[in-house]
Chains A and B, each alone.
Chain A
Amino acid sequence: VQLVESGGGVAQPGESLRLSCAASGFTFSNFGIHWVRKAPGKGLEWVAFIRSDGSHKYFADSVMGRFTISRDDSKNTVFLQMSSLTSEDTAVYFCGKEFSPSSPPDPPDAVDFWGQGTMVTVSS
């Protein structure tokens, strides 16, 4: 199993960035994918999740209405579109595969494999 994030970089407040999470080594279409971030000096914060079929998406309150999540199963890739960025979004962003396939009404499963992370810096 391998997950590789990309798309991080430096953005000014109010700008947008799109992160990608490219997956391999498992049947991608069977599993939901999480995004989790770690800001400098802070703990882990769950950000978003997309179900295996893309039908349901969940977001942390801190990013609701600003971030969207999508997936392209033909490319084994999940995207995190981030807009209206603020300094509070500065963090390393990790994607993670859920441990076992889940479907509503069950909540998403825990993460068993993680990418190496991509750094997002929001600064003027």
Chain B
Amino acid sequence: DIQMTQSPSTLSASLGDRVTITCRASPSVSNYLAWYQQKPGKAPKLLIYRASTLQGGVPSRFSGSGSGTDFTLTINSLQPDDFATYYCQQYNSYSPTFGQGTKLEIK
């Protein structure tokens, strides 16, 4: 299986901050990398696919970059609605795998 290592596991930030979450794949997943946001008791929400393409309806303060093994999710100017858990997922295999998640908390 392809291993996805996400960091940090917890991130404390303030409203208006810019934050970055990283995800490392082993081995390479090309650009078949998605980012999801999940809030407690809710289904995940697709934010970004193909590593850098913003899903329709997702605010432009979210952006993704990377290819191969190293990826980042950046959120500019944090809003109250952004405090949630974020997961990366590779889908370059018949057994897609998620990172362990990053919980974004209010400082």
Chain A residues close to B by CB (< 8 Å): 34, 36, 38, 43-46, 49, 58-61, 94, 96, 99, 107-112, 114-117
Contacts and interface: CB of A to CB of B under 8 A. Distances in A.
Interface in B40-55: 42-46, 49, 55
Contacts, number: 66
Main secondary structure of the interface of B (DSSP, over half): loop
A99 B46 contact: yes
Contacts of A36: 44
Contact of A110 (B34, B95, B99, B100): B34
B71 to A, nearest CB: 13
- Chain B contact-residue range equals 20 to 34
A44 B38 contact: yes
12 contacts: A36-B44, A43-B87, A44-B89, A46-B97, A46-B98, A60-B95, A94-B43, A107-B93, A108-B94, A111-B34, A116-B42, A117-B43
B98 A43 contact: yes
Contact of A45 (B34, B55, B98): B98
Contacts of A115: 43
A111 B44 contact: yes
Nearest to B29: A107
B98 A94 contact: no
